[in-house]
Amino acid sequence: MQIGLTLPVQNMNFFPARSGGFNCNGSASPLKAWSRNVNARCATMKAVSTTKMTRKHLSSLEKLLQKESEPSPPEDVQVEDVNKVTQKSPEKENKGRGFLENLNLSRVWPESKAAEEVSPRHLVRLKRMLSISNQYSPRNILASKWREYHGCNNWEGLLDPLDENLRREMVRYGEFIQAAYHCFHSDPATSEGHANVDRHVAVPDRAYRVTKNLYATSSVGLPKWVDNVAPDLGWMTQRSSCVGYVAVCEDQREIARMGRRDIVIALRGTSTCLEWAENMRDLLVEMPDQHNTGEANEVQSISKVECGFLSLFKTGGAQMPSLSESVVSEIHRLMEMYKGETLSITVTGHSLGAALALLVADELSSSAPNMPPVALFSFGGPRVGNKGFANRLNKKNVKVLRIVNSQDVITRVPGMFVSEELDKKIRDSSVGANVLNVLDNNMPWAYSHVGTELRVDTKMSPFLKPNADVACCHDLEAYLHLVDGFLASNCPFRSNAKRSLVKLLNEQNSNVKKLYTNKAKALTLKLNPQREILQMPSCLPSPST
């Protein structure tokens, strides 16, 4: 395009040609002829109206500004779509659009600017929470109040609002359960014909040492021909599997901080097909030692538990003892080893592990005359027994703290979907209590929860979707995320939460709000091009390193 088409021609006489400076050899300069032609052309154009040329100039400028190169189609657009795009009329596309819109600023805006709704303060917080290493709350000295944190007063005054020391202890016990999951998934196969082999457990707290692996055995099994047809699926048909471990604190500074030597029993959730089969056996059965304790004479105190849970707890393998025998013998051995010291027993479990943890606590509390105080921290635990079983644990002074997600359906099964608050109100009345006691002793699905409850909610997290699926609401990492951010029942998620979001993003990416997944991707591209920031290590740090 020539520039002369957009400039007023009559203004050219303002720039007369000067030939003196170009007359190098004294001959007539060719610029003189060009100047004469321009002057002649200008003389002939004087009759042209200035208004007409101005309109022509503005029209040319408008066409120049509206003309836009066709953008290249995105990579995921099909060929047919590209043809449709190229056939569109530029006049229709640009009609009614201004100059700034035609610049297409969205194409030049960096992709790392996604989710710009995140404020700078929240962006720094998100960047910190996307670091691989967790940032723990300070380890305050609990020696003078350790019995309160261990539940001697049923955690009264420590749950709402949540005490920061108790929060840290709960998250720490939850990570013991994660180590039990890692231990099982690293080698799920267990030979039924041989004795159990000790396997390495990478406990998250280096102050503790694992002393024994615990195994659970199912009383049901699949036919032998299943192994012949599908030998690669042997881990699905195995009856015995590693379900947890026992660990003891051996660090003297940690013992001084906690005020006692703590023994931890950590139990994982359901991981094999036969364990799922045991979960479905939801009829209530009486405890084996019911008549030995004299409780059968009291109608209101008949203790019953789920058949499947009791089976996994009491059944032994061909070459291995039952979970009940293993845990009792190991605790007695540790009590004898550390005789004379102040001890505590902390049982913790998730899902099926929470149910087995109740049976373990019940068994240990009456297995020796001088048993240390027993406390239980459960995450997403189902109902285990009836009201008589709950009364039995209360009489044995077993302290139970249940961490429950309001959106987790597993915490409302098995049994009838009856509100715990309604059940308490009915039992407080004399007539209603007698009716419910009769139902507890005669109905096969009259389940009741045990202990003190700490209720969290997926909807309180600013990172998780309010409509997160069942798997996310029951996930252990989601539980630890909610506990770490919980302040009180009437308060939002705490802004100074310490727990990393890496594992949560890996396992529940589809349930994390898109705003944060986009920002996490942008931060990943900026901070680590290889995207190693969202990768979890294959195993937890070993205490021996």
pLDDT band, residue 365 (cuts 50/70/90): very high
Low-confidence winner among 115-129, 148-162, 349-363 (lowest mean pLDDT): 115-129
- What phi and psi values does residue 512 have, to the nearest 5 degrees? -90, 140
Lowest pLDDT segment from 55-64, 221-230, 285-294, 528-537? 528-537
* Average pLDDT estimate for 111-118: 41
SS (H, E, C) 199-223: CCCCCCCCCEEEEEEEEEECCCCCC
Q: With residue 542 as reference, give the H or E element that holds it.
A: none
In the set 474, 475, 484, 500, the catalytic residue is 474
* DSSP characters over 256-280: HHHTSEEEEEEE----SHHHHHHHT
What is d(CA 379, CA 478) in angstroms, rounded to the nearest whole number?
A: 10
Mean pLDDT taken over the chain = 74
Predicted confidence band of residue 330 (pLDDT cuts 50, 70, 90):
very high
Q: Is residue 69 annotated as part of the catalytic site, yes or no? A: no
Q: Which CATH number does 141-286+301-456 carry? A: 3.40.50.1820
Per-residue pLDDT at 149 exceeds 90 = yes
Q: Which of 240, 322, 344, 351 is catalytic?
A: 351
According to the model, what pLDDT value does residue 433 have?
Answer: 61
Would you call 408 a catalytic residue per the annotation?
yes
Q: Is 449 a catalytic residue?
A: no
Asked whether residue 329 carries a pLDDT value surpassing 70, the answer given is yes
- Out of 408, 440, 457, 484, which one is annotated catalytic? 408
Q: pLDDT tens digits, residue range 58-89?
A: 566 555 545 444 444 444 444 444 344 444 44
Give the other-Cβ count within 10 Å of 348's Cβ.
26
379 pLDDT tier (thresholds 50, 70, 90): very high
Helix (H, G, I), strand (E, B) or coil at 49: coil
Does residue 331 register a pLDDT over 90? yes
**272-290 pLDDT per residue, tens:** 888 998 999 988 999 887 6
Mean pLDDT, rounded, for 186-196 = 61
Greatest distance between any 2 Cα atoms in the chain: 137
pLDDT at 215: 92
Q: What is the pLDDT of residue 481?
A: 94
Asked if residue 115 has pLDDT above 70, the reply is no
